[in-house]
Every structure is written in C-alpha cells, then in structure tokens.
Amino acid sequence: MVTVPFFCPDVPYLKRNPAFFYYPDTFQKPNPFQPDVAVSIDSVIQKKLEALDALESQFYEGGANGSAELVPSDPARQRERHGQVRGFFEKRYQDQAQRFRSKLAEFYGKEQGGAVRHAEAFEICEYGRHPDQAELKKLFPFFGD
C-alpha cells in the first residue's frame, strides 16, 4: 500500500516499492523461515541487550501475555528478571548464529562467518521489492570486502 497514490493523502506515496523482511520465529506452517541474509551482531550485542530496558512493558512485563508475577517489586528479583530476559535474548541471537551458519558464511566467508557468535537473519517478504544478493549487500552493509 505504500506505493498506492491517495491511500493516505497526507503522506506522499513511494515511487518504488521497498524491500520488506521477515524475522525468524518458531512457526513452521504455512512456510518455515528461509533466510536470505544473516548478519553478525557481535559488535552491538550489548547495545541490543541494553535496548530491552527501553521497552520494559514489552520484554520484562511479558507484553500481551504478561502477568503480575513477571513484575516483582523486590529489587533483587527485579535484577533476576532483567537477567532472565537478557539471557533469553542473548541465547536467541546465539542460536540464530548456529542455525544460519551457512548463510553467514555465504556473506562473510567461511572463516569469518564461522566465528560469528550472535546473529540476526532475515527473509525477503514477497510483498515488496526482491533485492538480489548485490543489493542485499548494500541494504546490509556489514560484510566488508
């Protein structure tokens, strides 16, 4: 809809459809996640984990499936909860590095891709533009030469 004139008349429509990307989850139906690109986040993993603090209701309180038990009033339990959430996300990024190791090697080379500890992967969504590998390297400029 971002390229449809007059759909939202107070915002100019785009002349070129952007690329949209899926992020991995555990769903297998109707289609399992198939990464088109994977990037190392080793250099920013601590910043990403610290960013969780800015969205406390989403992560520490449990979001839509939250409960009062997830929000302890005791400072020691609050620190424990923060550690649990950070640990969950750090493991998630480590698991993505393992799960998508071949895609990391494709973009970084076998040696550098094999050394990545934390990663994120993305799949091109069929609703937007379909960038080729050369354009992916421009959209995700993290791979070096």
Distances (CA, A) of 16 to 1, 4, 113, 136: 11, 10, 32, 16
Q: What phi, psi does 84 have (nearest 5°)? A: -60, -45
Specify whether the CB–CB gap between 142 and 39 falls below 8 A: yes
Q: Which residues contact 20 (CB under 8 A, 6 or more apart)?
A: 124, 125, 127, 128
- Reported as a single tens digit per residue, the pLDDT across 118-128 is 999 999 999 99
Core vs surface per residue 47-83: b (16+ CB within 10 A) or e: eebeebeeeeeebbbbeeeeeeeeeeeeeeeeeebbe
The β-bridge relationship of strands 21-22 and 37-40 is: unpaired
CA distance 75 to 9: 49
- The residue with greater pLDDT, 113 or 77, is 113
pTM of the predicted model as reported, rounded to 2 decimal places: 0.84
- Reported as a single tens digit per residue, the pLDDT across 37-75 is 999 999 999 999 999 888 877 877 777 777 777 788 888
